[in-house]
Structure 1
Amino acid sequence: MTRPFDAIIIGSGQAGPFLAERLTRAGQTVALIEREHLGGTCVNDGCIPTKTLVASARVAHLARRAADYGVMLGGPVRVDMAKVKARKDAVVQASIDGLTSWLENMERLTLIRGEARFEGPHAVSVNGETLTAPKIFINAGGRPVIPDWPGLADIPYLTNTGMMGLDALPEHLIVVGGSYIGLEFAQMYRRFGAAVTVLEYGDRLIAREDPEISQAVRAMLEAEGIVVHTGVRDFAVRPDAAGLRLTATGLDIPGSHLLLAIGRLPNSDGLDLAAAGVETDARGYIKVDDRLRTNVDGVWALGDINGRGAFTHTSYNDFEIVAANLLDDDPRQVSDRIPAYALFTDPPLGRVGMTEAEVRAAGRPALVGVMPMTRVGRAKERGETTGFMKVLVDAQTQRILGAALLCIEGDEIVHSLLDVMAADAPYTVIQRSVHIHPTVSELIPTLLGQLKPLD
């Protein structure tokens, strides 16, 4: 049996439902295929649940610091992990319910639960049925990397997905991976009360950032009691009375739980892309052009699977780019967007544009400004002076090249810089603005007024 549609979307992650809505509103019939959970990683085991857990962990942390603010609490702070999980589950379920209702009531949309595989450039099989369409959008996302360590098959281990099921506090959580996912879980579970050890293969944490960012984040985590080891090699694990024992270069660590956070892989290997002639790179990411078109006419790839961004916001922007080109006669493209993301530790790291290393590698004459948070009145009032703000500016054009804001509300403040960069306006627009006192953002003009040549 074959069913024809105007468009087929494989995967209901961030880009998929919004693209389905635009296409159906334009009068097209659409099949949206989802093999597991509506909403993809973000809704089920990514952004929404993890940031809900981060919020609970922050409350526990502030409660322990209550006396610093003159607030006296009775007895030690206790965390009920079952209730923490229940709160997280409720937030996630509300998101899933809203998305499900939206999709199930969308006119001209057929929602199909099952696993899709290509039969040809414009034909997909699912649940024993063949679907055809002149336009197919691959939005199948990614999954955690599982290493090939000696002994790993003999012990239980967790990924970001498995962490969502914990309703009891680990005695000792070993986190392998010192980047965004690993560090967020490390800090939140330390704040819940677990002993936490972070092991990183590289020579420093979050190696994509400039060294002083890595150093500051490490110091911040170690100040909360997290043990950090970098340059770790030759991992092996085995069962132990405590749960497991991990050995590596110069290390022998018992733990109750093991979290693997060492990267992600695209879900391209199960789609039988060869049947459609769709090309991938050496890592399995689907090759796309600046408008997210694959090498096969009428086939696009959006979200984590295309290797052009690994965030919910870049996935949503992928939808915007495709919809603009297909439906709005608006030639938007991937290269138009400015890289921006955040590390949701506490304080968070808001990042936009180029790092200092990238600016130096480009050979551009640049200015740099750095301000420690100990100079920011709002941070002192809140008792949260950890971190600093750093901005890089092109010395000739006065355009902001990049920024790293490791500070209270840095994940929000960074957008003021992003917007000026997107407007292609000089940094003086911010420098000469009158900001509200007392805020963190009011120090951005001061920071920009103290720029110095990058040596």
Structure 2
Amino acid sequence: MVKIRNMFTPKSNKIGEGQKSLSEVVLEIEGMTCDHCATGIEKKVGHLVGTASQKVNYPEGKGIFSYDPEKVSKKEIIDTINGMGNYSVKKELPASSNGQGTEEEVTFSISGMTCDHCATSIEKRFEGHEGLISKSVSYADEKGTFIFNPDKISRQEIIETINKEGNYKVQKEIGGNGNLERADPGQHDLIIIGGGSAAFSAATTANELGLTVLMVNAGLDIGGTCVNVGCVPSKHLIRAAEQVHRAQHSPFNGVSGANPTFDFKATIQQKKELVAALQKKKYLGVVGDLDNITILEGWARFVDAHTIEVDGKPYKGMKYLLATGATTNVPDLPGLEDVGYLTNETLFDLEEQPEHLIVLGAGYIALEIAQAYHRFGTKVTMLHRSERILRTQAADITDDLTSHFTEEGIEVHTNVSIQKFEKNGDAIVAHTNEGTFEASHVLVATGTRPNTSGLAIENAGVNLNKTGHILVNTKQETNVGHIYAAGDCTDTPAFVYTAAKEGKVAVLNAFQSTGDMVDYTGLPWVVFTDPQIAGAGLDEKEAEEAGIPYETSVMPLTEVPRAQAALDTRGFIKLIRNSETDKLIGGRIIAPEGGELAMQVSLAIKAGMTIQELADAFHPYLTLSEGVKLAAITFNKDVSELSCCAS
């Protein structure tokens, strides 16, 4: 069951000064589903005269109650809980003890040893450590047993001594009953800061390894950007907008366009229902029955390299994964804060359709939203400071998409310098070097920045780059040995699927020292405009920068039978090959549903296929995928002179 904690601590119902002694009872309680249930029980029992304190723990399913037996009985406390309806006391548990012995024994599973000398080396590290009574490390058993005085040396200090140098790492504490337990009482094996794709992938991987996980989430709801304010809502609205557009524009004789009935508010409401359903099914539902995973809502900040604080309460972890994601990078423009603006985090919940939307930016988020809302009937003006849209891509791609946008009626202004914003009644006015633009709403889509500024990350000693991204190596390790990072808060490709892979790799390296790395070779990606832009591998500029001799072929969709039959020949397919080896090294596509071709290109690159092998492969006729085959043939032949299905 997912455990969602709040940090509310109820006040004790204090008894009078005359109270001589208190009794304590520990009860196992069934029926709680969240921390709110625990709080409700505490408040109800707290109303009984004679109760001194009550602490109910939802994740552990128990409550500890201190009371004056002369004023209230144990039975009255139990009857009060049972009388609340959904809760029942299953049994009384043994009372907790606050005493602590002078001698404790702990056994750790230790990785990284390659011989008996390694075991001896670990033992020698503890020479002169006050409080360590004995140590016995076994290379063959991959474990070490330590007897110590907890008043003089802690479990954590033993762990840090083992981990501090070389390849040795404490993986788990081995309990006396053979089960794996936490390395310190109250310490989690893994603390994850974040609640998106990287975080959930890491959490489920850790659960498979039997690890205890605390996931601390704040800002966006559980699920992060993708399900809440990114991939899912945007693609839903894009498809709805396409439906409106296609109903109005038919290329076929005998099929006339019509104005469909369109309810913007109903479309947004359906989007909200979809987001809620997927959040429940794909995130909360995934970890719903995993007792090892606890979800805590609140802002985390580092106290030191091993401790975080959430709402004033400290938490310790053996290992950490930072997966805090990214958010809109709002530019510092005069008047912008005063007039108010939207981002993708707020726009998709707006139930009143904007009349005129100024879009700041021309990256993939700006482009997808601009076209979708234009097709809904909103007037859209794009203002961008660079010389062309989607400037990370080659000019042939971006010029083609720009022409399709302007043909639809979307205003695209590049090389724009914004001087200030101001209000004119209900309207927002943007003053620029190209004149003034007036609209009802402004959308800021000018890129993202990592969510690292509020972590007090300097207290942990983790290094950031100039843009605030967490620096990691190919194994997702930071410069601090037990702290890892994954997803958009790092300077790796910012996709939900790469974030998930990075989260998994981080956990495997942290707890199993697998040496796994994320291979971005042939990484596929899609921009969901219409026509879509998609790619995998290198483009011409990247090949040149890598010193790879290359050649390109371009197959216009006017020569692809599927596009001809659909009467939609917008775009082209471009392949890039190593001119010395004939191997495919990259591809770029602009085409209706062009994203469906990205994986074919990606797999061909990963498999090391040559252009000749791609050209020789069977492709089903009258599919868009045949365009990739034709683009491969184009390196050596003019396909316009070939018959259908020719090789």
Structure 2 CA distance for aligned equivalents of residues 361 and 307 of structure 1 = 19
Answer yes or no: is 1:313 the counterpart of 2:497: yes
Answer yes or no: is 1:287 the counterpart of 2:464: no
Which of 377, 390, 393 is the equivalent residue of 2:574?
Answer: 390
Paired residue for 1:240?
424
**Alpha-carbon shift at residue 35 of structure 1 (Å):** 1.2
Q: Which amino acid aligns with 1:276?
A: A
Structure 2 CA distance for aligned equivalents of residues 233 and 72 of structure 1 = 42
Question: Is contact 2:474–2:517 with CA below 8 Å preserved after alignment?
Answer: yes
**1:354–1:67: structure 2 CA closer, same or farther, 3 Å change rule?**
closer
SS in structure 2 opposite 1:158? coil
SS in structure 2 opposite 1:16? helix
Structure 2 CA distance for aligned equivalents of residues 337 and 93 of structure 1 = 34
Paired residue for 1:135?
319
Structure 2's unaligned 5+ residue stretches are 1-6, 8-184, 638-647
Which of 528, 541, 566 is the equivalent residue of 1:357?
Answer: 541
Higher Cα radius of gyration = 2
Paired residue for 2:232?
48
Paired residue for 1:300?
484
Question: Is contact 2:555–2:634 with CA below 8 Å preserved after alignment?
Answer: no
Paired residue for 1:195?
379
SS in structure 2 opposite 1:391? strand
Q: Encode CA deviations 1:227-268: one digit per residue, 9 max, x unaligned.
A: 111011133110123520111112211101101111111000
Which of 270, 273, 276 is the equivalent residue of 2:454?
Answer: 270
**Alpha-carbon shift at residue 336 of structure 1 (Å):** 4.7
**Alpha-carbon shift at residue 168 of structure 1 (Å):** 2.2
Structure 2 CA distance for aligned equivalents of residues 305 and 117 of structure 1 = 15
SS in structure 1 opposite 2:285? helix
Paired residue for 1:380?
564
Higher helix share: 1
Which of 205, 209, 219 is the equivalent residue of 1:22?
Answer: 205
Structure 2 CA distance for aligned equivalents of residues 336 and 188 of structure 1 = 30
**Alpha-carbon shift at residue 353 of structure 1 (Å):** 1.4
Paired residue for 1:449?
633
Answer yes or no: is 1:76 the counterpart of 2:259: yes
| TM-score normalised by length of structure 2 | 0.68
Q: Which amino acid aligns with 1:91?
A: L
Paired residue for 1:62?
246
Structure 2 CA distance for aligned equivalents of residues 13 and 379 of structure 1 = 38
**Alpha-carbon shift at residue 328 of structure 1 (Å):** 6.4
Which of 291, 295, 301 is the equivalent residue of 1:107?
Answer: 291
SS in structure 2 opposite 1:134? strand
SS in structure 2 opposite 1:90? helix
Paired residue for 1:94?
277
SS in structure 2 opposite 1:102? coil
**Alpha-carbon shift at residue 69 of structure 1 (Å):** 5.7
Q: Which amino acid aligns with 1:19?
A: A
**1:135–1:373: structure 2 CA closer, same or farther, 3 Å change rule?**
same
SS in structure 1 opposite 2:575? strand
**Alpha-carbon shift at residue 128 of structure 1 (Å):** 2.2
Structure 2 CA distance for aligned equivalents of residues 34 and 59 of structure 1 = 36
Question: Is contact 1:325–1:331 with CA below 8 Å preserved after alignment?
Answer: yes
Structure 2 CA distance for aligned equivalents of residues 95 and 67 of structure 1 = 36
**1:337–1:321: structure 2 CA closer, same or farther, 3 Å change rule?**
farther
Question: Is contact 1:420–1:427 with CA below 8 Å preserved after alignment?
Answer: no
Q: Which amino acid aligns with 1:385?
A: T
Structure 2 CA distance for aligned equivalents of residues 290 and 181 of structure 1 = 27
Paired residue for 1:207?
391
Paired residue for 1:345?
529
**Alpha-carbon shift at residue 22 of structure 1 (Å):** 1.4
Q: Encode CA deviations 1:84-105: one digit per residue, 9 max, x unaligned.
A: 1011111101111122233232
Question: Is contact 2:247–2:259 with CA below 8 Å preserved after alignment?
Answer: no
SS in structure 2 opposite 1:103? coil
Greater CA deviation, 175-184 or 378-387?
378-387
**Alpha-carbon shift at residue 70 of structure 1 (Å):** 3.2
| Number of residue pairs matched by the alignment | 452
Structure 1 CA distance for aligned equivalents of residues 460 and 500 of structure 2 = 25
Paired residue for 2:616?
432
| TM-score normalised by length of structure 1 | 0.95
Question: Is contact 2:526–2:598 with CA below 8 Å preserved after alignment?
Answer: no
Which of 310, 318, 321 is the equivalent residue of 1:126?
Answer: 310
Which of 408, 412, 420 is the equivalent residue of 1:224?
Answer: 408
**1:361–1:29: structure 2 CA closer, same or farther, 3 Å change rule?**
closer
Answer yes or no: is 1:33 the counterpart of 2:254: no
Structure 1 CA distance for aligned equivalents of residues 598 and 322 of structure 2 = 31
Q: Which amino acid aligns with 1:166?
A: L
SS in structure 2 opposite 1:220? helix
Question: Is contact 1:3–1:130 with CA below 8 Å preserved after alignment?
Answer: no
Structure 2 CA distance for aligned equivalents of residues 329 and 137 of structure 1 = 15
Structure 2 CA distance for aligned equivalents of residues 203 and 103 of structure 1 = 46
SS in structure 2 opposite 1:54? helix
Paired residue for 2:194?
11
Question: Is contact 1:6–1:135 with CA below 8 Å preserved after alignment?
Answer: yes
Paired residue for 2:345?
161
Question: Is contact 1:369–1:452 with CA below 8 Å preserved after alignment?
Answer: no
Q: Which amino acid aligns with 2:242?
A: R
**Alpha-carbon shift at residue 72 of structure 1 (Å):** 4.2
**1:336–1:67: structure 2 CA closer, same or farther, 3 Å change rule?**
closer
Question: Is contact 1:242–1:254 with CA below 8 Å preserved after alignment?
Answer: no
How does 1:241-260 map onto structure 2 within 5 Å?
241-260=425-444
Question: Is contact 2:187–2:318 with CA below 8 Å preserved after alignment?
Answer: no
**Alpha-carbon shift at residue 219 of structure 1 (Å):** 0.5
Say what the alpha-carbon RMSD is for the aligned residues: 1.9
Paired residue for 1:331?
515
Q: Encode CA deviations 1:143-178: one digit per residue, 9 max, x unaligned.
A: 101111111121121011111112222111111101
**1:109–1:141: structure 2 CA closer, same or farther, 3 Å change rule?**
same
Q: Which amino acid aligns with 2:414?
A: T
Structure 2 CA distance for aligned equivalents of residues 118 and 283 of structure 1 = 20
Higher RCO (C-alpha under 8 Å, 6+ residues apart):
1
Structure 1's unaligned 5+ residue stretches are none
Q: Encode CA deviations 1:97-136: one digit per residue, 9 max, x unaligned.
A: 1222332321211111111111111211112221111110
**Alpha-carbon shift at residue 324 of structure 1 (Å):** 4.3
Structure 1 CA distance for aligned equivalents of residues 568 and 478 of structure 2 = 47
**1:415–1:69: structure 2 CA closer, same or farther, 3 Å change rule?**
farther
Structure 1 CA distance for aligned equivalents of residues 278 and 582 of structure 2 = 42
Structure 2 CA distance for aligned equivalents of residues 357 and 425 of structure 1 = 21
Q: Encode CA deviations 1:364-395: one digit per residue, 9 max, x unaligned.
A: 22121101111112112223211111010001
